[in-house]
Amino acid sequence: MFESLQDGLSSAFKTLRGQGKLSESNMRDGLKMVERSLLEADVSYEVVQTFMKNVTEVAVGEKVLKSLNPGQQVVGVVHEELIALMGPVDNSLHLRGKDEVSVLMMCGLQGSGKTTTCGKLGRMLKLAGRRPLLVAADLQRPAAIDQLHVLGEQLEIPVYSDRAQKDPVAVCNAAVQQAKKLGADVVILDTAGRLHIDDELMGQLTRIDKKCNPHQVLLVVDAMTGQDAVNSAKAFNEALELDGVVMTKLDGDARGGAALSVKQVTGVPIKFMGTGEHLDALEEFHADRMAGRILGQGDILSLVERAQREFDQDESAKLESDLAKGEFTFDSFKTAMRQMKRLGPMRKIMGMLPGMGKMLDVMGDADPEEDMRRLFGIIDSMTPDERKKPKLIDQSRRRRIAEGSGVEPSEVNELVKQFDAMAQMMTGMAGKNPRERMAMVRE
Ligand code: GDP
């Protein structure tokens, strides 16, 4: 996500920081580099012009130029401006109470990820204690109804469809009317998509909007389509008055031009973002956190929220209580690693940790998941006693474990050695909050 923009900005800042005191002309040269990175990231031309005007005004002002570290100050100015560019965002879906029925209308072009996002949103709402109902109102694409049913089954969320009904407005209306009877409190309408915007589609969506009075209308756009995504957001917003955008496929988008332009061009904020094909890959979009990610500062808050949502509560509680007693065994290690895996692929997690983005470059093709499988293999070849007391593992046990897990004895040795350091850190973390823990890891 945003890799090429991150690289461009970080080399601009490096040039600025490397110069100590800056003259106005040095500063302007550095800012030109910032401008170039934004344009290369496919941010809309007008957006870049306004952005640079605002940044330049502050950056060449006396307060920054005469400060002790003008290069560093510019990072702060760009950070603030990025937040202003993408925000403010109201992430709430403004759902009614659980005894009423709330309606979410999802629209977007074909292939944008609309149906997948309906599933992801349903999953998120279910985890938050809601009872969603997915409604198959995309009658354009015959496979769309089946696709939604498959998602519903996977997520154990009910799906409303009516294959005999040819009018999507009637399908949506019937679903909303029956929602209560079906035990649902949030109805998610998966409306029709098209390859291009046309009057027929807009007419259909406007009729659904009028008939069902959705509490929120969200547009799903594909980040990879760059400025086309921004233009389609503009057109949909003129017809429907969107409440927010869900920007999908940010995981594959190295440039970020659409994410940075859409709010300024359309006035509609990004409320959620899709960061992968899996159904758990949906996150709230926060302008300040995203600005931090773009500037390579990571996004601890989103990681912590993800952990609160995805971790197995019983496993976490047991681990915490063991740690509080100063107990950390290879079994606890496995539990901790299993929980980590729930957060998503290792590479994605590392991208959210401050300063770790660069580590990904260093890692090259290394596969952290494969490393973890090897570690689990080693631990599984230990006896329960060895897992509890790694000190028992002498040379002959080491050889036996290595044979059992198909690795070299030196790998077993390495793991046992690292384990002591890790045990110390983990028991030291017990009772600390996530921020304090992160500070320990970074020391
Ligand atoms: P629709 O035609 O708009 O309903 O699009 P679909 O929901 O069928 O999605 C089209 C393709 O995009 C599918 O292969 C999805 O798995 C994929 N997709 C959707 N959201 C994301 C995302 O956030 N990241 C990635 N990498 N793929 C996504």
Binding residues, as ranges, are 108-115, 190-194, 248-251
In a domain, 427, yes or no: yes
Domain extent for 437:
305-442
User: Residues 112, 78: one domain?
Assistant: no
ipTM greater than cut 0.95 = yes
Asked whether residue 278 falls in the same domain as residue 327, the answer is: no
Q: Are 240 and 171 in the same domain?
A: yes
- What is the number of domains present in the chain? 3
If you measure from the C-alpha of residue 78 to the centroid of ligand 1, how many angstroms do you get, rounded to a whole number? 32
Looking at residue 129, its pLDDT comes to: 94
Q: 91 in a domain, yes or no?
A: no
Nearest CA-CA partner of 332 in 437, 430, 417, 434: 430
How far is the centre of ligand 1, averaged over its atoms, from the C-alpha of 441 (Å)? 35
Last residue of a domain, one of 86, 118, 147: 86
> Of the residues 277, 282, 283, which should be mutated to test ligand 1's pocket, given the most ligand atoms within 8 Å of the CB?
277
Angle, CA of 221, 93 and 106, to the nearest 5°: 35
pLDDT of residue 231: 94
Statement to judge: residues 143 and 284 lie in one domain? yes
Residue 26 lies inside a defined structural domain of this protein: yes
Strands 216-222 and 102-108: parallel
Same domain for 162 and 310, yes or no, is no
**Where among 40, 58, 86 does a domain terminate?**
86
pLDDT of residue 443: 47
Residue finishing a domain among 86, 111, 127: 86
Q: Does residue 348 form part of some domain?
A: yes
Per-residue pLDDT of the chain (443 residues; tens, 9 = 90+): 888 888 889 888 888 887 777 888 888 888 999 999 999 999 999 999 999 999 999 988 888 888 777 887 888 899 999 999 999 999 999 999 999 999 999 999 999 999 999 999 999 999 999 999 999 999 888 789 999 999 999 999 999 999 999 999 999 999 999 999 999 999 999 999 888 888 889 999 999 999 999 999 999 999 999 999 999 999 999 999 899 999 999 998 888 899 999 999 999 999 999 999 999 999 999 999 899 888 877 666 677 777 777 777 787 778 777 877 777 888 888 887 777 777 777 667 766 666 655 556 655 666 777 777 888 899 999 999 999 888 889 999 999 999 999 999 888 888 888 787 777 777 776 666 666 665 655 54
Given the CA of residue 144, which atom of ligand 1 is nearest to it?
4
Question: 282-284 and 270-274 as β-strands: parallel, antiparallel, unpaired?
Answer: antiparallel
Query: Which CATH number covers residue 181?
Result: 3.40.50.300
**What single letter denotes the amino acid at residue 232?**
S
Q: Domain check: are 77 and 113 in the same one?
A: no
Handedness of CA 227, 232, 237, 242 (dihedral sign): negative
Residue 247 counted as domain residue: yes
- Distance between Cα 281 and ligand 1 center (Å): 11
CATH number of the domain within which 62 lies: 1.20.120.140
Q: Could you tell me if residue 173 is inside a domain? A: yes
Q: Which helix (H) or strand (E) holds 110?
A: none
Name residues contacting ligand 1 (CB within 6 A).
Answer: 108, 110-116, 193, 248-249, 251-252, 274-277, 281
Q: Residues forming the annotated binding site for GTP?
A: 108-115, 190-194, 248-251
| 184 and 140, same domain (yes or no) | yes
pTM higher than 0.80, yes or no?
Answer: no
In this structure, the answer to whether residues 63 and 147 fall within a common structural domain is no
| Cα 277 to ligand 1 centre (Å) | 6
Ligand 1 pocket test, pick from 116, 219, 247, 283 with the greatest ligand atom count within 8 Å of Cβ, gives: 116
Residue 192 sits in the same domain as residue 67: no
Is the same domain home to 163 and 118?
yes
Q: What CATH number does the domain containing 407 carry?
A: 1.10.260.30
pLDDT on residue 430: 65
- Which strands make up the sheet holding 186-191, listed edge to edge? 159-160, 132-137, 186-191, 102-108, 216-222, 244-248, 270-274, 282-284
Is 435 within the bounds of a domain? yes
CA of 345 to the centre of ligand 1 (A): 18
Question: What confidence score (pLDDT) does residue 60 get?
Answer: 86
- Tell me the torsion sign for CA atoms 379, 380, 381, 383: positive
pLDDT at residue 363, rounded to an integer: 58
Relative to the CA of 282, which ligand 1 atom is closest?
A: 23
**Residue 230 belongs to some domain of the structure:** yes
Q: Are residues 318 and 392 in the same domain?
A: yes
Q: How far apart are CA 270 and CA 83, in angstroms?
A: 12
User: How many angstroms does the Cα of residue 115 sit away from the middle of ligand 1?
Assistant: 8
Are 15 and 49 within one domain?
yes
